[in-house]
Structures are given as C-alpha cells and as structure tokens.
C-alpha cells in the first residue's frame, strides 16, 4: 500500500483555502498513481463523507472533487489527528519528504522505487504550510526522501504532484525492462 500523507502545519482551528485546495489537488494525483490519501491535523470538524462534499462544493479542481470521491468510495481516504508516538502501522514505513535528508536515513527515488517494486508499504509525508513538516516527525520516519536528489525545496503542491509521478515513473520503467 502506498499512501500520501499531508500534514497540516497551517492554522489548526480555521479552515483556509489552502486546506481544501491541497486536498483537491492531491486526490487526482493519488488516484492516477495508485496512492491512498491520508490527511493529518486538518481543522475540519466533520467525518470523511462531509469532508468530501465540503471540498467538492468549494473547488473545481480535480473535476470538482471527482477523484476525492473515488478515493473515498474505494476506502483510500483517511482523516486523522497527528499521532504523538507513531503513525498507523497499516500504512507501512514512514518516509518524510525533505530537501535536507539526514544521510543515515536518506533514500534515493530509485531505491525507493525498488522498495515499492518489492511490494513494501509506505506512508510518504508532505508538510502543508510554510514551515514544512514538523521536525519531530523526522524521528518517526524510517526514510528521508529528497525527490530532487539535489537539495531543491519544493512548494507543497509541487511536491504532491512530483513525488508520486516521478517515483511511479521509475517503477513503471523498471517494470517494463524486466
């Protein structure tokens, strides 16, 4: 199982445009590349059904929530508070995305693709907000992934699009060569 986890680091009380737009942008990417979508620490006081309808009503992105609805129908949409001690084990190994990976935890996109091809499960975390992922999450991660392999910091929605497409492009290329 591959899951893209978006961690809200914006306002934890007030719903902002950035919240529902990021969800609407992530849904078609997750759907297209076979990822589930997990949302952490978002300020929505609603269940997943209500959240899907709320996002669909607020945006035309992702064909007005079509892909978010499809993820939800297929039980590939999850909404959680940010865990204090560890992420849900059913998602597999935690991968934090960063332009500054610690060397001992660093994984290249190519090696990450190899792990995916070996049917390993991963939760890939992306921070939504100016500060990126909270540093305390790094200690909960097995891997640190710099998708650019060059230390280039990406804006959240750019990373949301880039990570699944690039990694799954590598997976598909390697699979076709076998």
- The CATH number that applies at residue 172 is 3.40.1280.10
Give the residue numbers spanning the domain of 74. 2-177
Whole-angstrom distance, CA of residue 68 vs CA of residue 52: 7
Confidence class of residue 122 from pLDDT cuts 50, 70 and 90?
very high
CB atoms within 10 A of CB 11: 13
Q: What is the mean pLDDT of residues 151-158?
A: 93
* pLDDT for res 109: 97
Q: Which of 28-37, 56-65, 104-113 has the lowest mean pLDDT?
A: 56-65
Q: What is the pLDDT of residues 130-144, one digit of tens each?
A: 888 999 999 999 999
* pLDDT for res 42: 83
pTM for the full model?
A: 0.92
Confidence class of residue 27 from pLDDT cuts 50, 70 and 90?
very high
Spatial neighbors of 66 by CB under 8 A, at least 6 apart, are: none
Whole-angstrom distance, CA of residue 150 vs CA of residue 15: 34
* pLDDT for res 44: 78
Pair 174, 158: CB distance under 8 Å: no
Comparison of pLDDT for 130 and 169, the residue scoring more: 169
The domain tally of the chain equals 1
| Residue % of the chain over a pLDDT of 70 | 98
Whats the size of the chain, residue-wise? 178
| Statement: residue 125 has pLDDT above 90 | yes
Q: What is the pLDDT of residues 83-99, one digit of tens each?
A: 888 899 999 999 999 99
Whole-angstrom distance, CA of residue 101 vs CA of residue 143: 8
Whole-angstrom distance, CA of residue 172 vs CA of residue 35: 14
* pLDDT for res 132: 86
* pLDDT for res 62: 63
Q: Which of 42-51, 66-75, 88-97, 143-152 has the lowest mean pLDDT?
A: 42-51
């Amino acid at each position: 199982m591959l899951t893209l986890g978006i961690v809200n680091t914006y306002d934890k009380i007030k719903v902002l445009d950035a919240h529902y737009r990021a969800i609407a942008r992530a849904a078609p990417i997750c759907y297209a590349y076979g990822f589930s979508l997990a949302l952490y620490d978002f300020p929505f006081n609603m269940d997943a059904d209500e959240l899907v309808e709320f996002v669909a009503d607020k945006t035309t992105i992702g064909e007005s929530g079509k892909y978010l609805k499809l993820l939800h129908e297929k039980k590939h949409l999850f909404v959680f508070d940010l865990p204090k001690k560890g992420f849900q084990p059913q998602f597999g190994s935690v991968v934090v995305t960063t332009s500054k990976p610690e060397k001992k935890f660093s994984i290249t996109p190519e090696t990450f693709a190899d792990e995916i091809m070996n049917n390993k499960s991963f939760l890939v975390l992306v921070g939504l907000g100016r500060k990126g992922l909270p540093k305390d999450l790094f200690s909960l991660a097995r891997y640190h992934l710099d998708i650019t392999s060059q230390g280039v910091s990406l804006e959240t929605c750019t990373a949301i699009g880039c990570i699944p497409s690039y990694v799954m492009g590598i997976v598909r290329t390697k699979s076709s060569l076998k």
